[in-house]
């Protein structure tokens, strides 16, 4: 009986499989690297775009971006439905990046005694950061080439692996630009200011900028903030001054970027123009 049942199931399934349209598959994989932000457009227009099952916001004309995690594996898959109703896919190939390594004295990461007051403060601060990135605006501000927000030497690259003694810590989530206190910080692209506050325990005075479709910048350790939440800033508009507020060993700008919660390397926005 079991065998007959199975045969019926297979027989019933075959016509459905045969009727489904064959997927459109892009000939060339989308080649990128760990930590990159890729700005591109669909080779066939459509809707319901996903990256490994995660919904990817897109403009009406099919432009979108994807952020590749610091620890992403060698491949990923973009999938969508074309305007003619055909499933479509675009394989993504991801090159591993050799990250910098910073070895620091073990004493710098010694856990302090329990401090409920500090913990409550961090909960409030991290809640404010999360709320600032809660909405994904449809702004196309991410579609131009970005500019450097401050002059100066890059003192720590995105992704640098910090090792305290022999204990690895979280990789560096942004680009550090060493510059004297008081150096103006410019908006790297047009944006809506979502948070302009501080000083927070680690970030110091900080500004979060919304570039649209889930892409945000965070500027940390400012000595002065010159913008307010809700304000729209142009590319190159001053937003504040470099400082050393929060946890910083000297004056510098920490510029972090996230795409839908994935930390990406700001350097890829400076060197790559969207396709």
Binding site for Zn ion (CB under 5 A): 176, 254
Least distance from C-beta 255 to Zn ion, angstroms?
8
Least distance from C-beta 68 to Zn ion, angstroms?
20
Continuous H helices in 28-76? none
Least distance from C-beta 179 to Zn ion, angstroms?
13
**Residue 44 CB neighbours (<10 A):** 16
Q: Which is nearer to Zn ion, 46 or 173 (CB)?
A: 173
Q: Which is nearer to Zn ion, 215 or 218 (CB)?
A: 218
Rounded Cα distance, 264 and 74, in Å: 16
Q: Which is nearer to Zn ion, 125 or 176 (CB)?
A: 176
Least distance from C-beta 172 to Zn ion, angstroms?
6
Q: What angle do CA 118, 121, 127 make, to 5 degrees?
A: 140
Q: Which is nearer to Zn ion, 138 or 250 (CB)?
A: 250
Least distance from C-beta 254 to Zn ion, angstroms?
3
Contacting residues for 30 by C-beta, under 8 A, at least 6 apart: 38, 40, 78, 90, 91, 92, 93
Q: How far is CA 18 from the centre of its chain?
A: 40
Q: Which residue is nearest to Zn ion (CB)?
A: 254
Q: What angle do CA 139, 144, 149 make, to 5 degrees?
A: 100
- SS3 state of residue 205: strand
Q: Which is nearer to Zn ion, 32 or 268 (CB)?
A: 268
């Amino acid at each position: 009986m079991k065998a007959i049942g199975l045969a019926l199931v297979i027989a019933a399934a075959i016509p459905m499989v045969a009727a489904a349209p064959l997927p459109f598959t892009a000939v060339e994989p989308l080649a990128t690297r760990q930590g990159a932000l890729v700005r591109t457009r669909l080779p066939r227009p459509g809707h319901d775009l996903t990256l490994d099952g995660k919904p990817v916001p897109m403009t009406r004309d099919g432009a979108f971006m994807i952020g590749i995690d610091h620890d992403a594996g060698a491949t990923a898959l973009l999938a969508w439905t074309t305007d003619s109703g055909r499933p479509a896919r675009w394989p993504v190939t991801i090159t591993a990046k050799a990250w910098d390594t910073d070895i620091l004295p073990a004493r710098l990461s010694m856990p302090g005694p329990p401090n409920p007051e500090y913990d409550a403060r961090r909960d409030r601060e991290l809640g404010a950061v999360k709320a600032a990135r809660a909405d994904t605006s449809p702004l196309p501000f991410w579609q131009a080439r970005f500019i450097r927000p401050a002059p100066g030497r890059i003192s720590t690259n995105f992704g640098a692996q910090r090792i305290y003694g022999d204990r690895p810590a979280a990789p560096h989530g942004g680009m550090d630009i060493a510059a004297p206190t008081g150096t103006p910080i410019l908006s790297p692209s047009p944006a809506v200011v979502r948070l302009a506050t501080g000083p927070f325990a680690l970030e110091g005075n900080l500004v979060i900028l919304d570039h649209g479709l889930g892409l945000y910048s965070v500027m940390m350790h400012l000595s002065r903030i010159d913008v307010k939440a809700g304000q729209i800033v142009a590319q190159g508009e001053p937003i504040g001054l470099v400082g050393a507020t929060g946890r910083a060993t000297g004056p510098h700008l920490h510029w972090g970027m996230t795409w839908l919660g994935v930390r990406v390397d700001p350097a890829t926005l400076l060197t790559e123009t969207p396709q």
